[in-house]
Structure 1
Amino acid sequence: MPEKLPIYLAGALLPHPPKAMGVAVSGGSDSMALLHLLHEFCIKRQIRLQAVTIDHCLRSESGAEAAHVAEVCARINVPHDTLVWNEWRGEGNLQGAARHARYQKMAAWAQGCGIDTIATGHTADDQAETVLMRLARRSGVDGLSAISRRTLREGIIWVRPLLQARRKVLRNYLSGRGIGWLDDPSNDDARYDRIKARNALEVLAPLGIGAEVLGEVAENMNTARKALDWQTFLAAKHMVSLDAGAVLLNEASFKLEPEEVRRRLLIKAINWVNGRYYAPRRGGVSNVMAALSNGQATTLNGCHIRRIASQIWVFREFNGVRDANVGVDELWDGRWRLLHDDAGHDHHDLRVKPLGLAGLEQCNDWRSSGRPHVVLRSTPAVWRGDVLVAAPLAGFQQNWQAKLSEEQDTFFATLLSH
């Protein structure tokens, strides 16, 4: 066994290993090596290990490949599940949609299995390719930090123990043990940016720009990112308040901060309000900052950003929730729960929808909430047909409460988590 591979696992999972963890296995060399390395690691430490494969149903061979992974796992007594994603309709960004679905499905699977940590087989080669792709997109510090060794997403800790390992080393490890792997033909499809970056690395090698060098660049950027995150957190503690699911920034204090801190505050506010994981594009954020400098309101990624009195409000754009319509037992807009004071209250014919202008007209006392008219439009309300039953955030409680699915303090935690 290449001597550094166990060290990489120990560095990622010790000194406080999880009691149970998952491993994502596609059948390729990277994830197959991770499966076998983790199997040995977990046996020695009595960690419960379970494997999961996502069948994207994009190739005729995908079902057989998932079955092959299941057979490999059975041979080493690792429980395995295959999750199917067959929702691609041929529109938009295929790789982005598939990645988003993978994380969502694996997170739900892990939570159902009592698992809070999942390991993925990202390698030093993946890291280098990502840095090149981010360079092409003119990324800043965060983008060039590339793939993090540990992140929190969908309520799950994602670890990447092999981020310093080269793919060729992992293949040598597998070959030395007589373990095979599957090759995905899309890994040779030059239409994808990642494959273009992989091919570019071969051209850059004579200049001394290889996977190890680009990995060091990512580490350097990650160190800088952590320092910027800390400064942003300190700034937020004395200028940010939260109300009705919106983020409020004291305008005077905001203007005194360096441009990069202001940019980060806006990104975190937007992501907290819209519930998305990935940050808006740099150009979009620059446009928001320019609009604020000119005293103008603007929108980005489903959020409305505008100055109201002495505050900069970042709140949900009405168009982003216009069609959000769920039962009162369901999560509205991915973040709100509407609760009646009487748990046994009959609400079979009630729906949760945005308050909107029609709802505000039925709230005679909305000004008592102290919240701006434009903010209240996109807050959740309880409806029976076209009749407003309750608007808890607009001064029309009627024994209903609107609660965020996460405590508001999580906003500050997001400033330091990746």
Structure 2
Amino acid sequence: MSLKNLNASSKIHKQLLNKLRDKRIYKIYSKFENNLNLNNDFTVAVSGGPDSLALAFFSKIYSIKKSLKIKYFLVDHKLRNNSSVEALFVKNLLKDFSIDLDILKWNGKKPKNNIQSLARKKRYNLLINQSKKFKINHILFGHHEDDVYENFLIRLLRGSGLKGIVSLDKTTLINNANILRPLINVEKKDLIYISKKVFNKYVEDPSNEDEIFTRVRVRNLIKNLESEGLDKSKFKLSISNLKSVDQSIQFFCEKNLKENSIISQNKVVLKEEFFNFPQEVLFRSFSKILQLVGKKYFPPRGKKITNILENLQSKITFKSTLGNCVIKKIKKTVIVYKER
């Protein structure tokens, strides 16, 4: 880096650090820093909305303080006509703050149904694969407190189990990549404040107002419930209590996997005792096996897994395929191996 560029970068760094003089911003940043507590290089997922821009700002401050290298990526799904223009706008906006943003593009045929869910999975895939190219295992997302409530209700409406409705947590492991959400305890209104104060602008995604999407309808439902007196602190406490139960179930799930499965390359043998646990523990244990053998980021749909388990428990011999796996039962032994 030339002396001129180095001086310019130092000047921008100073300007960024000066933003922390705002008491409200400093208070939120302190919460972010305590939640992150990371001393390794990491990737930041950016979209252009207020939550991701606040994340970009905080992570830049964090990197300056910790002397860490960060990669910033934005996934252009190309689902809207002006998405590429918006991506370039965000890139140029962040460039003024010494943040170098790379744009990842989702090329190819796009889905007509279940668009947001599939786009979200594609985003994870692109970000994880790109991060691995730089040998980075930590990826930051801008999920915030409001997302926790939305996720809870969406999963509840879909009939998800306990793990599903409390799945949006501070950390998640996907394909050996650590998904980190250091803003998970911060309200969206605070992130909007930060984006306006630091960047003066952010991208408004029109799909966030389109009630064709379940997430938008749920978001509006929460607003209506708030006007009717919804106590978010009690809502948050209930989710916290459910997470505690979830952790207990996860303990027995790991116990079942450790004691009742024999794992080898591309194959897992399940002992008879594997199926003696309560339904939720069994369901999770088997889902983990399918992910491991099938090498999938996400497990198959819950109903399909339930049907397989019912057949395995009721039939003497059984064979089926699911999630890139072949599931085969001979007498009391179940073998799961990768589909060819």
Give the TM bin, normalised by the shorter chain: 0.7 to 0.9
Q: Which residue of 1 aligns with 2:206?
A: 185
Q: Which residue of 2 aligns with 1:301?
A: 323
Q: Which residue of 1 aligns with 2:28?
A: 5
Deviations 1:116-143 (A, max 9, x none): 2221111111111111100101112101
Distance in structure 1 (CA, Å) of the matches to 2:123 and 2:241: 29
Match of 1:138 among 154, 159, 162: 159
Deviations 1:354-406 (A, max 9, x none): xxxxxxxxxxxxxxxxxxxxxxxxxxxxxxxxxxxxxxxxxxxxxxxxxxxxx
The 3-state SS of whatever aligns with 2:169 is coil
Q: Which residue of 2 aligns with 1:250?
A: 271
Cα distance change on mapping 1:255 and 1:117 into 2, 3 Å: closer
Q: Which residue of 1 aligns with 2:299?
A: 279
Distance in structure 1 (CA, Å) of the matches to 2:312 and 2:294: 19
Deviations 1:276-335 (A, max 9, x none): 222333322322222122115253334333322431222345xxx3xxxxxxxxxxxxxx
Q: Which residue of 1 aligns with 2:18?
A: none
Q: Which residue of 2 aligns with 1:314?
A: 336
- 1:196 counterpart = 2:189: no
Structure 1, unpaired ranges of 5+: 322-418
Q: Which residue of 1 aligns with 2:131?
A: 110
Distance in structure 2 (CA, Å) of the matches to 1:255 and 1:48: 46
Distance in structure 2 (CA, Å) of the matches to 1:238 and 1:217: 32
- 1:39 counterpart = 2:75: no
Higher alpha-carbon deviation: 292-301 or 188-197: 292-301
The 3-state SS of whatever aligns with 1:266 is helix
TM-score by length of 2: 0.85
Give the conservation status (yes or no) of the 8 Å contact 2:47–2:74. yes
The 3-state SS of whatever aligns with 2:163 is helix
Distance in structure 2 (CA, Å) of the matches to 1:89 and 1:202: 31
Structure 2, unpaired ranges of 5+: 1-21
- 1:165 counterpart = 2:186: yes
Letter of the structure 2 residue corresponding to residue 190 of structure 1: E
Q: Which residue of 1 aligns with 2:115?
A: 94
Q: Which residue of 2 aligns with 1:267?
A: 287
Higher alpha-carbon deviation: 59-68 or 281-290: 281-290
Cα distance change on mapping 1:89 and 1:178 into 2, 3 Å: closer
Give the conservation status (yes or no) of the 8 Å contact 1:54–1:84. yes
Paired positions, count:
315
Give the conservation status (yes or no) of the 8 Å contact 1:129–1:197. yes
Deviations 1:145-202 (A, max 9, x none): 1312112223322211111111111112233345211100010010111101101102
Higher alpha-carbon deviation: 91-100 or 286-295: 91-100
Cα distance change on mapping 1:114 and 1:310 into 2, 3 Å: closer
The 3-state SS of whatever aligns with 2:183 is coil
Match of 2:254 among 233, 241, 244: 233
Distance in structure 1 (CA, Å) of the matches to 2:150 and 2:142: 14
Q: Flag the structure with higher helix content.
A: 2
**Displacement after TM superposition at 1:92 (Å):** 4.3
Distance in structure 1 (CA, Å) of the matches to 2:337 and 2:229: 47
Give the conservation status (yes or no) of the 8 Å contact 2:261–2:274. no
- 1:85 counterpart = 2:109: no
Structure having greater relative contact order (Cα 8 Å, sep ≥ 6): 2
Give the conservation status (yes or no) of the 8 Å contact 1:107–1:156. yes
Cα distance change on mapping 1:39 and 1:89 into 2, 3 Å: closer
Give the conservation status (yes or no) of the 8 Å contact 2:170–2:182. yes
Identity among equivalent pairs (%): 27
